[in-house]
Amino acid sequence: ELKVEQNPLFLSMQEGKNYTIYCNYSTTSDRLYWYRQDPGKSLESLFVLLSNGAVKQERRLMASLDTKARLSTLHITAAVHDLSATYFCTCEEGAQKLVFGQGTRLTINP
């Protein structure tokens, strides 16, 4: 059974700083996704990572995938307040469903 674990689960950081959220998964998975959820809102797709070594960047966020280590990272560069949200990583299990991590609640303070 696929398990997805994120750390940290809570992260409070200052604007302008850099930080990384880690996502480990327990068994082979072909694809990994990162989603963002604002409080009281829906989930918004951020990145789809399809293969080992994949790297995707969107403004201050960069996601990478290492399938050999079963690890994905979401790196935040020079954080700004509007990046405050909960970030989920999720992997495909058996080409049938997504298994989600616990989510990382990110708070960026001015």
Partner 1 sequence: DTAVSQTPKYLVTQMGNDKSIKCEQNLGHDTMYWYKQDSKKFLKIMFSYNNKELIINETVPNRFSPKSPDKAHLNLHINSLELGDSAVYFCASSPDAVREQFFGPGTRLTVL
Interface residue with partner 1 among 14, 18, 26, 102 (CB under 8 A) is 102
Q: To 10 degrees, the CA torsion angle through 37, 45, 108, 23?
A: 100
Q: Is 19 in the site for partner 1 (CB under 8 A)?
A: no
**Residue among 82 and 96 whose Cβ is closer to partner 1:** 96
Q: Is 45 in the site for partner 1 (CB under 8 A)?
A: yes
Interface residue with partner 1 among 42, 68, 82, 110 (CB under 8 A) is 42
Q: Which residues contact 23 (CB under 8 A, 6 or more apart)?
A: 4, 5, 6, 32, 34, 71, 72, 73, 74, 89, 101
Interface residue with partner 1 among 86, 89, 106, 108 (CB under 8 A) is 86
On the 0-12 / 13-18 / 19+ scale of CB atoms within 10 A, 53 is: exposed
Q: Contact residues for partner 1 (CB under 8 A)?
A: 31, 33, 35, 37, 41-45, 48, 86, 88, 92, 95-100, 102-103, 105
